Amino acid sequence: MRKKRATLIAAGILLVLLVGGYIGAKAYRRAKFDRLTASVESIDLAKLKSDDLVLIEVPTSGLTLRKTGGVWETVPGTSVRLDQSEITSVTWSLSNMRAEKIIDPEPADLGAYGLDKPRSRVIVTTSDGARVEYIAGNMTPSRSGYYAMMIGDPKVYLVPSYPGERLYLKLADVRDKNLPTFEPGEVRHVILTAGKTRIEIEPKEERDLWISSFTTHVLTSPYKTRRGVAPDRFNSLLTFFKDLRVRDFIDDSPTDLARYGLDKPARVFIQTGTSSLHLLVGKAPEGSANRLYAKLDGEPGVFTIDDVTPALQAQPFDLTDKFALIVGIDRIESLEVKIGARTFSGRVERRKETVSSRDEKGKEVTEEKVRETYVFNGKKAAESSFKNFYQACIGLVTDAELPGAPPKATPEIRIRYRLTEPAGTETELDLLPFNRDFYAASREGAAEFLVSRVQAAKIEDTAEKMEFID
């Protein structure tokens, strides 16, 4: 019994010691945390209203900014565009500068901090005449901040990296790096010139009857006939230039554009209804694989941008909708295909019918429908069979650009379409012999592309397999 009681007393003492140790350890950790947080509590160096700032002077970089009528401008005035939102951020940092701690309350040697000959000096003035002057020295060995002082205060402070960078302000930091931008759906005109290649793109018009309904834009150059632009490839091209920004300002008054490859630049022109980007693009800076020199047309300054080489190397054929000649069957009155001595003719006859039915409540409902009849070589053809033949005709896709001059030859295959709207409108596609594998596809007298003979063979094949209805 005594042994059991002694065991219980010992366990109680141990529990008290454990609880006490836990409480003591917790209190120690709390005190240590409080000391640490107290040591990193920020110190206000200036407490101004950023909206009240009207003058920023940085004698060490030669920059002076003055706010007039709510807009910041350089002094003296220049044609350089400033980023007003970036300057707003700068004014907030300079008006509310904070330090992490005091490094030296009474420094005997400012040279140890790079403050005997300051790397930068910044003076800010408010509209009521209040004035604060900072001087900034070296970056700390840990590169976590900068040594700084205020005129009238002998102490050396540690200023964190981000606000500290504002103490080294220069013109390049507040220049507007935004280039004219656009929304792809609003683009009205694109011209891309690189070397001997010129690509010109405009919105599709009502006259573009023979261009796929899936496309919104057409190539007007370099081909003789207007070609539809593949939407996905067009959007990919525009992506390179949308929201393009200046990376670095290089030369505001260049005397020799050749050193930047801008004496014979690539040109990019993108226009919407309200804005335009006209960019000249040169070569890559030496040692840089992801930048290019560039300048805006009509402005002297040279800068760098992200590499847009893939867009500059775009080939016209890569952008095109590949259909040789596509016409929706709903717009067709008739078509005629001549293959050698054989002729195949197709026609879609449409007549309106009134159809009666009953709705859910049993009420009779009438509606007008269009019934289509398909005729092939004067006989009524099965719908699926006729459409297979029609698909073989309009499904011809271009395989490549025609190399060299167009062949002087009689067409081996001619496909002629006649539309219902506009009534009587006709067009034709001629396939001229090129070699044993390809035809040269000719439209409106211009042969510019190749179509494989394998594709064309399907036209005659589906014609021969036509099924008729008795």
User: Is pLDDT at 39 greater than 80 in this prediction?
Assistant: no
Output the pLDDT for position 43.
92
ω into 154 cis (within 30 of 0) = no
Q: What is the mean pLDDT of residues 388-399?
A: 96
User: Is pLDDT at 448 greater than 60 in this prediction?
Assistant: yes
Q: What is the mean pLDDT of residues 181-190?
A: 94
Q: Which pLDDT band, with edges at 50, 70 and 90, does 360 fall under?
A: confident
pTM as predicted: 0.78
Residue 53 contacts residue 66 (beta carbons within 8 Å): no
User: Is pLDDT at 22 greater than 60 in this prediction?
Assistant: no
Q: Which pLDDT band, with edges at 50, 70 and 90, does 14 fall under?
A: very low
Residue 369 contacts residue 353 (beta carbons within 8 Å): yes
Q: What is the mean pLDDT of residues 364-370?
A: 80
Q: What is the mean pLDDT of residues 453-460?
A: 96
Q: What is the mean pLDDT of residues 224-247?
A: 95
In the chain, what are the domains?
43-174 (2.60.40), 184-319 (no CATH), 329-464 (no CATH)
User: Is pLDDT at 349 greater than 70 in this prediction?
Assistant: yes
User: Is pLDDT at 7 greater than 60 in this prediction?
Assistant: no
Output the pLDDT for position 41.
65
Compute φ and ψ for 105, nearest 5 degrees: -70, -30
Residue 133 contacts residue 122 (beta carbons within 8 Å): yes
Q: What is the mean pLDDT of residues 415-425?
A: 90
Q: Which pLDDT band, with edges at 50, 70 and 90, does 345 fall under?
A: very high
Alpha helices in 224-315 (DSSP H): 231-239, 309-312
Residue among 107, 247, 230, 113 at smallest CA distance from 172: 247
Quote the percentage of the chain above a pLDDT of 70: 91
The 10 Å CB-count burial string (b at 16+, else e) for 120-135 is bbbbbbbeeeeebebb
Residue among 225, 219, 171, 216 at smallest CA distance from 56: 171
Output the pLDDT for position 429.
96
Q: Higher model confidence: residue 45 or residue 357?
A: 45
Q: What is the mean pLDDT of residues 150-154?
A: 94
Q: Which pLDDT band, with edges at 50, 70 and 90, does 271 fall under?
A: very high
Q: Which pLDDT band, with edges at 50, 70 and 90, does 133 fall under?
A: very high
Average pLDDT taken over every residue of the chain: 89
Contacts of 360 (CB under 8 A, 6+ apart): none
Residue 166 contacts residue 93 (beta carbons within 8 Å): yes
User: Is pLDDT at 28 greater than 60 in this prediction?
Assistant: no
Compute φ and ψ for 92, nearest 5 degrees: -65, -45
Q: What is the mean pLDDT of residues 224-234?
A: 95
User: Is pLDDT at 40 greater than 80 in this prediction?
Assistant: no
Q: What is the pLDDT of residues 426-444, one digit of tens each?
A: 999 999 999 999 999 999 8
User: Is pLDDT at 150 greater than 60 in this prediction?
Assistant: yes
Contacts of 179 (CB under 8 A, 6+ apart): 244, 245, 246, 277, 279, 296, 305
Q: Which residue has the tokens 């067409």?
A: 411
Q: What is the mean pLDDT of residues 346-370?
A: 82
Residue 118 contacts residue 60 (beta carbons within 8 Å): yes
d(CA 333, CA 348) in angstroms, rounded, equals 6
Output the pLDDT for position 9.
46
